[in-house]
Amino acid sequence: MNRDLLRSLVYDMLLARTFEERAAQEYANGRISGFLHLYPGEEAVAVGVLHAAEPADYVVSTYREHVHALARGISARQIMAELFGKKDGVSGGMGGSMHIFDGTRRFMGGYAIVGETFPIALGVGYAIAYRGLPEAVICFFGDGAVNQGTFHESLNMAALWRIPILFVCENNHYQIGTEIHRHSAVADIHKRACGYAIPAEKIDGMDVLAVYEAARRALDAIRNEGGPRFLEFETYRFRGHSMADPGAYRPAAELQAYLHDDPVDSVIRAAETADPTPGKQAPIRAQGSPPSPFRGPAWESLTAPDIESLRAEAAAVVDDAVRFAEASPAPTMEDAWHAFRRNRMPDGPSAP
């Protein structure tokens, strides 16, 4: 294991957790308004997948996308300022928590209507395939999205024209409050990709090392063999669907079991272990995963002081992001019209 990569994975996991818990506090403090969908519990998916991606790859994400944005390298400052609705937010305060866009990092947006990421990824991937570039699109979605028509329509076209998309299902088992066996006739989501002849795997989404390896393999296959790939990551959100949801529909024992499988704690335990084989004993674990190149003699562990320094750095970055967001000015209506018009033709419509 490359030590820098391990350090980066651990740091991003810590930053993700710290950022989201702080966002929850700021929501409670009244400094963040509107819908706020947080990611604790699911960090391993975004962090693992996006570490496996190249800078030239595109990312299309959902309304639960703060951590995708962080893992893509967008600054905590710009993301927090967007959550605050401020002018220095990554979308200028016009998007908000659910609509983070950063063209410079090929972060093609957070989309707030379930199922929209499929056709957007399809179009971005179409452009890549038409131009014959060695790039790919990472398309995030949850288990709730797989019953939208766009899932089936877009998987069909992606397979038909061999579009370079990595479909990443964040299966947290709930579409808001409806558990997967109550919303899906086939709850093994990766099996649905078989209907479109897209190679698919189910992976433990609580293990960032397993996520990273699986995404790396899938992206290599996309670049070497062409066509889409599909990964289902089994994960869990520790909080409700949004800040408005206490999550009371979930059995306490279920939540407790997953909390024992906390992906941030797990990666720290693994990183501190000289030889982490055979890894943690998780209550749920994908079967049949191939042996990991992370395990074994090449492993370079981190020390406890290493971890503490990463934890302190993440805390400092989040504190700084909140101060930055607070200090940033509110956007004006003029800024809103500017955002609305800046791409318009010179003869375009004028304000009323």
Partner 1 sequence: MNGPVFYWQALNRALDAEMALDDDIITLGEDVGLFGGTYRVTEGLMAKYGEWRVRDTPISENSFVGLGVGAALAGLRPIVEIMTVNFALLAMDAIVNIAAKVPFMSGGQFALPLTIRMPGGVARQLGAQHSQRLEQMFMNVPGLRIVVPSTPQDAYWQVRQAVRSDDPVIILEHERLYFSKGPLDEEAAPPPPHQAAVRRQGTDVTIIAWSRMTEVALAAAELLKADHIDAEIIDLRSLLPIDWAICQASVEKTHHGLIVDESSRFAGAGAEIVATLHERCFFSLDAPIARVAGLDIPVPFNGALEAASIPTEEGVADAVRHLMARS
Q: Which residues bind partner 1 (CB under 8 A)?
A: 58, 60, 89-95, 99, 101-103, 108-109, 111, 113, 116, 118-130, 149-150, 153-154, 156-157, 160-161, 338-345, 347-350
Nearest of 318, 328, 326, 323 to residue 87 by alpha carbon: 328
User: Between residues 119 and 228, which has the closer beta carbon with respect to partner 1?
Assistant: 119
Output the smallest distance, CB 58 to partner 1, in A: 7
In angstroms, the CA 106 to CA 100 distance is 11
Helix (H) or strand (E) holding 202: strand 200-204
User: Between residues 54 and 188, which has the closer beta carbon with respect to partner 1?
Assistant: 54
Judge whether 222 and 228 are in contact, CB under 8 Å: yes
Residue 269 CA to its chain's centroid (Å): 22
- Sorted by sequence, the CB contacts under 8 Å of residue 86 that are 6+ apart come out as 93, 325, 328, 329, 330, 331
Output the smallest distance, CB 149 to partner 1, in A: 6
User: Between residues 274 and 333, which has the closer beta carbon with respect to partner 1?
Assistant: 333
Output the smallest distance, CB 268 to partner 1, in A: 35
First and final CA of the chain: distance in angstroms?
A: 60
User: Between residues 151 and 238, which has the closer beta carbon with respect to partner 1?
Assistant: 151
User: Between residues 82 and 213, which has the closer beta carbon with respect to partner 1?
Assistant: 82
Return the structure tokens found at 216. 């790396």
Output the smallest distance, CB 141 to partner 1, in A: 13
Task: List residues bridging with 40 in a β-sheet.
Answer: none
User: Between residues 181 and 342, which has the closer beta carbon with respect to partner 1?
Assistant: 342
Judge whether 200 and 232 are in contact, CB under 8 Å: yes
Output the smallest distance, CB 169 to partner 1, in A: 17
Output the smallest distance, CB 116 to partner 1, in A: 6
In angstroms, the CA 288 to CA 285 distance is 9
Return the structure tokens found at 292. 């990991």
User: Between residues 137 and 211, which has the closer beta carbon with respect to partner 1?
Assistant: 137
User: Between residues 15 and 76, which has the closer beta carbon with respect to partner 1?
Assistant: 76
Ranges of H-type helices in the chain: 3-28, 43-52, 66-71, 76-83, 117-131, 149-160, 180-183, 208-225, 252-259, 263-272, 304-327, 333-341
Nearest of 84, 153, 138 to residue 326 by alpha carbon: 84
User: Between residues 90 and 318, which has the closer beta carbon with respect to partner 1?
Assistant: 90
Output the smallest distance, CB 111 to partner 1, in A: 7
Output the smallest distance, CB 5 to partner 1, in A: 28
Output the smallest distance, CB 343 to partner 1, in A: 4
Please report where in the chains the tokens 């016009």 appear, as a residue: 94
Q: Which amino acid appears at position 111 of this protein?
A: Y
In angstroms, the CA 164 to CA 128 distance is 8
